[in-house]
Amino acid sequence: MTKAEIVNEIAKATGVEKIQVQNVIEEFTKVVKNSIIAGEPVYVRGFGSFIIKHRAEKAARNITKRTTMTIPAHNIPAFKPAKVFVNAVKESK
């Protein structure tokens, strides 16, 4: 499902104009991105959490050049679904 399809579904369900729904979705994504960049996780009860995962430094191999290199420690954004959400998906099939 694309962002445009999400906007259409929400507009149909709520009766709110598509442009307003699109603006709300855009602002939501901005708030989530800025919070994660600032190091603050975002919790949406019943849906899940947008969190930061820390990856430790590790050694990697380039098998074509037969060399070893070090990948430095870094943070990545991640999404952890809520248990209610996970259970709903498991029961859907």
In the numeric block, which tokens belong to residue 37? 């960049």
Q: What is the mean pLDDT of residues 23-43?
A: 96
Residue 93 has pLDDT above 80, yes or no: no
Number of neighbours of residue 64 by Cβ within 10 angstroms: 6
Say if residue 93 is exposed, middle or buried (CB neighbours under 10 Å; 0-12, 13-18, 19+).
exposed
Please tell me the pTM assigned to this model: 0.79
Q: Which residue is it, tokens 């990948």?
A: 71
pLDDT for position 92: 85
Q: Which tens digit of pLDDT belongs to each residue from 45-92?
A: 999 999 999 999 999 998 888 899 999 999 999 999 999 999 999 998
Domains and CATH numbers, the chain: 3-91 (4.10.520.10)
